[in-house]
Amino acid sequence: MAKLDFNIKAEIREDMGKGASRRLRHQDKVPAILYGGDKAPVALTVDHNKVNNMADYEAFYSHILTLEIDGKKHQAILKDMQRHPYKPKLTHLDFQRVEAGHKLHTHIPLHFINEATAKGVKDEGGVIVHHVNDVEITCLPKDLPEYLEVDVASLAVGDTVHLTDLNLPNGVELVELTKGEDHDQAVVSVTAPRVEKEEEPEAEESAEAEAPAEEEKKDEE
């Protein structure tokens, strides 16, 4: 696991339906599916606890995984993970086949570095604001990065890093930027610290001054 070696043993699932899936979960198994490429989808079952432990690692969601089915190894990426609404349980997994020479689409996380020492934070008291925490990329399997680093050290208050400012590894393309120039969305920025205005006492003082005047007028009447 330390080497990010995510190997999952899976069994082909013959028994389908909600009832069958419920029985699997009682046996600490999770129903799953492997699809993609030019092969038919395959219904699978995997060990719940092992996959649940892997899910604690950020890399599990952006790394190429190895599914071992009937003694054969298949490369895949996790495309979807469903969880129980209130129990710490996985309920279904979707895996997509990875084939050498065929580009894949997936999301990878952004790692923001030097936030505490950023110019706008350290020298100007600004606040770092994350606009997105992951990005969708397309690349060949061999070029898949685990994450992208975003260095904010030089950002001053008012500065913003956009998608076009990210340093991409060779062979990696941002899906959002393929949609046009107007999709160059903000990634992270430094904003000025929020200053709360003190309440001005003028209105209260004016009201206090008017009160005695009204009382004097009543006395005169």
Q: What are the pLDDT tens digits along the chain (221 aa)?
A: 345 679 999 999 876 666 555 666 666 889 999 999 888 999 999 999 999 999 999 999 999 999 999 889 999 999 999 998 888 889 899 999 999 889 999 999 999 999 999 999 999 999 999 999 999 999 999 999 999 999 999 999 999 999 999 999 999 999 999 999 899 999 999 999 876 666 665 555 555 555 555 555 555 55
Q: In the chain, which residues fall in CATH 2.170.120.20?
A: 104-191
Q: What is the pLDDT of residues 21-64, one digit of tens each?
A: 566 666 688 999 999 988 899 999 999 999 999 999 999 999 99
What separation in angstroms does the CA of 47 have from each of 17, 79, 90, 132? 18, 18, 10, 32
Q: In what order do the strands lie in the sheet with 173-174?
A: 148-151, 104-113, 134-139, 173-174
pTM of the predicted structure, to 2 decimals: 0.77
The answer to whether 108 and 95 are in contact (CB under 8 A) is no
For the purposes of burial, counting CB atoms within 10 Å of the CB of 206, is it exposed (0-12), middle (13-18) or buried (19 or more)? Answer: exposed
Q: What is the pLDDT of residue 87?
A: 83
CATH 3.40.50.2300 fits 7-97, yes or no: no
The helix/strand/coil state of 130 is strand
Alpha-carbon span 98 to 140, nearest angstrom: 9
The answer to whether 165 and 187 are in contact (CB under 8 A) is yes
For the purposes of burial, counting CB atoms within 10 Å of the CB of 215, is it exposed (0-12), middle (13-18) or buried (19 or more)? Answer: exposed
Strands (E) located in 29-114: 29-35, 42-47, 65-69, 72-83, 90-97, 104-113
Tell me the two tokens of residue 6: 């995510």
Q: In the chain, which residues fall in CATH 2.40.240.10?
A: 7-97
The answer to whether 46 and 64 are in contact (CB under 8 A) is no
What fold does the segment set 104-191 form as a domain? RNA Polymerase Alpha Subunit; Chain A, domain 2 (2.170.120)
